[in-house]
Chains A and B, each alone.
Chain A
Amino acid sequence: NIVMTQSPKSMSMSVGERVTLSCKASENVGTYVSWYQQKPEQSPKLLIYGASNRYTGVPDRFTGSGSATDFTLTISSVQAEDLADYHCGQSYSYRTFGGGTKLEIK
């Protein structure tokens, strides 16, 4: 099984700050990585697919990058409504997810 490791586990940021979330795969997954946002008491929502493609309707402050084993989700200027857990997932060899990063807003 491919293991996806996210860091940090949690972070607390102020509105307007730049946020960088990391996701590392235990082996090369190409660009078969997606990012999901899960707000409290809600189901996950797709933000990024294919490592760097923004899904329909996702604000352009969200950017995905990376390939092979190292991936990043960047929020250029975090907003209060971005309070959520963020999950990465790979679909190169079936599907596995990272442990998530909890984003809190100061």
Chain B
Amino acid sequence: EVKLVESGGGLVQPGGSLRLSCATSGFTFSDFYMEWVRQPPGKRLEWIAASRNKANDYTTEYSASVKGRFIVSRDTSQSILYLQMNALRAEDTAIYYCARNWDGFDVWGAGTTVTVSS
């Protein structure tokens, strides 16, 4: 069974850092683009970061809203996707989902909630 399980969310103060993890299983991790999508309360889904597959050298892309603050990476030995989030702002408050990209986001995790507040 293909599974994605996010963890690492929580309450953090503005300016703080958090690292999210996405543990994957049931598929060949290196074959797929893996991406992060967030959903602020009451707002639309927002794509924020992508890690391309091994064939594309695991290169990364970011949305303008997080570029320079967030870093996406992989532990290929454990099939885990990470999102390092720095300089967090109130507007980063959201549910964060990791998703597998196959021609559309075909598998999603349940999400982990990040709240940025003092």
**Chain A residue with minimal CB distance to B107?**
A46
Q: How far is the CA of A26 from the CA of B43 in the complex (A)?
A: 19
**Chain B residue with minimal CB distance to A100?**
B44
Q: Are B45 and A34 in contact (CB under 8 A)?
A: no
**Chain A residue with minimal CB distance to B110?**
A43
Q: Looking at chain B's contact residues, is the secondary structure mostly helix, strand, loop, or mixed?
A: strand
Q: Are A49 and B45 in contact (CB under 8 A)?
A: no
A50 adjacent to chain B (CB < 8 Å)? yes
Q: Point out the residues of chain B lying under 8 angstroms from A48, CB to CB.
A: 104
Q: Are B104 and A97 in contact (CB under 8 A)?
A: no
**Chain A residue with minimal CB distance to B63?**
A94
Q: Point out the residues of chain A lying under 8 angstroms from B109, CB to CB.
A: 43
Q: Point out the residues of chain B lying under 8 angstroms from A44, CB to CB.
A: 45, 97, 105, 108
Q: Are B106 and A55 in contact (CB under 8 A)?
A: yes
Q: Are B104 and A87 in contact (CB under 8 A)?
A: no
Given contacts A87-B44, A94-B47, contact A49 B103 (CB under 8 A): yes
Shortest beta-carbon distance from B60 to chain A in Å = 12
* Interface size of A in residues (CB-CB distance below 8 Å): 23
Q: Select which of A43, A55, A91 is within 8 A of B97 by beta carbon.
A: A43
Q: How far is the CA of A96 from the CA of B105 in the complex (A)?
A: 12
Q: How far is the CA of A87 from the CA of B97 in the complex (A)?
A: 15
Shortest beta-carbon distance from A15 to chain B in Å = 27
B92 adjacent to chain A (CB < 8 Å)? no
B61 adjacent to chain A (CB < 8 Å)? yes
Q: Point out the residues of chain A lying under 8 angstroms from B105, CB to CB.
A: 34, 36, 44, 46, 89
A18 adjacent to chain B (CB < 8 Å)? no
Q: Are B47 and A97 in contact (CB under 8 A)?
A: yes
Nearest first, the 6 A-B pairs at minimum CB distance are: A49-B104, A34-B104, A95-B47, A97-B45, A43-B108, A99-B44
